[in-house]
Structure 1
Amino acid sequence: MPTETLIEDVRWHEAGLAALAERAAAATLAHLGLDPGEWHVSVLGCDDARIAVLNADFRDKPRPTNVLSWPSEERAAATPGKAPDPPDPQGDTELGDIAIAFDTCAREADGAGRPLADHVTHLLVHATLHLLGYDHEDARDAALMERLEVAILGEMGITDPYI
């Protein structure tokens, strides 16, 4: 699965963002029965200043956040709590874009006492699910998304981040 990773903040090189992104996206797709080799995801590794601008521009929230995602098309399920339809491999194979902020991720991982790589992997799984149409706007959708994240991370040897 070609994951294209653009590093704007050099700290992401040391953190191994490109490999973490590839592994997280591939694990998410495989867990959902999709062939990771058929799909493309773009990831931007940035800092808090850059993600604050993106958050302001796209969500009208002028502050840093940990991760943002932009699906290439609307894929949400019509019924809350139900899985969205899988993307069509005969259509556009670009799932969308993800931006992740080093400063916020490092602060959150430290605060939770979790390895940075585990926290970043969780956020990348979360963002990849967003690209596939999952969300957490409704409690039923949030529960479905959380169960998927925990299952995918478990398959990757990463403990439940919600404990």
Structure 2
Amino acid sequence: MRRPAAPGVREVPGARRTGVVLLFGQAVAGLLVGLVWWSLTRRPAALLVGEPVVTSSTVYPMARDGVFSVLTGLVGLVAAVVVLRRARRAPVTVFVAALAGALASSLLAAGTGSALPPAAAGAGEVTLTAWVAVLVQPFVVAAVVALVTLCDVLVRWTRTP
């Protein structure tokens, strides 16, 4: 049974649905990103760490964190596009749901990749060295939405007579 809206508050079902999709959709994407991140970095290729393949204690963690940042940044970019295209009625609600989903997605991706076993005995485990990388996805969502919104406002402002 649905609860009625509070007096004076207008319900926006489309915005609620978009917010829920952004929140839980990014969480599911985080699990997939964690699997992709683990599969790419458990045996680093020359593409990730240079030629010849160097798995020293300084190069490998930076490449691993970089791959994680790129993957989560791409998911954040997709989420920002969804926010910009679908959040006309309740933009703040959808934006907050997108930020919460982005943080949850990054944490789930880091946890999933770290929980899976290493490639072989004696191989390094896949884990983040710089935990600030979990903030890349929420930052991309916020930065893209802010930049596009600012540009839209400036364009409207300059076209106003």
TM-score by length of 2: 0.26
The structure that has the greater radius of gyration is 2
Q: Which has the higher contact order (CA 8 A, sep 6+)?
A: 2
TM-score by length of 1: 0.26
